[in-house]
Amino acid sequence: MEIKLLTFPADSPPLCVIVAAKVAGITLHSEASASVPTLDFSDGHKLHGTYALLRYIGRIATIPNFYGQNAYESAKGLVKDGKV
């Protein structure tokens, strides 16, 4: 699946998604919309929400250990003091 477009509210761009994609070398074409942050794919699929978009970028990044070396490290950044 190829990412076709990132859409997000004009007054609230998902900067963490944009920066993660930039660091990972992933080109994102974007435009403002009234919806939550969404990745539209060339095959018609969509992912919604900043958290889901960050996880997707992390999984497809080709940088070694961008998303952690294993499942524990991937989740460790999400949990602080036993809370998500």
- What are the residue boundaries of the structural domains of the chain, listed by start? 3-69
- Integer Cα distance of 32 and 56 in angstroms: 20
Pick the CATH number of 3-69 from 3.20.10.10, 3.40.50.720, 3.20.20.80, 1.20.1050.130: 1.20.1050.130
Backbone angles phi, psi at 4, to 5 degrees: -95, -45
For the question of whether the overall pTM of this predicted structure is more than 0.95, the answer is no
pLDDT at position 78, please? Answer: 54
pLDDT at position 70, please? Answer: 77
Band (65; pLDDT cuts 50, 70, 90): confident
Contacts of 69 (CB under 8 A, 6+ apart): none
- Contact between 58 and 67 under an 8 Å Cβ cutoff? The reply is yes
Q: What is the pLDDT of residues 38-63, one digit of tens each?
A: 999 999 999 999 999 998 998 899 99
In the numeric block, which tokens belong to residue 29? Answer: 């074409």
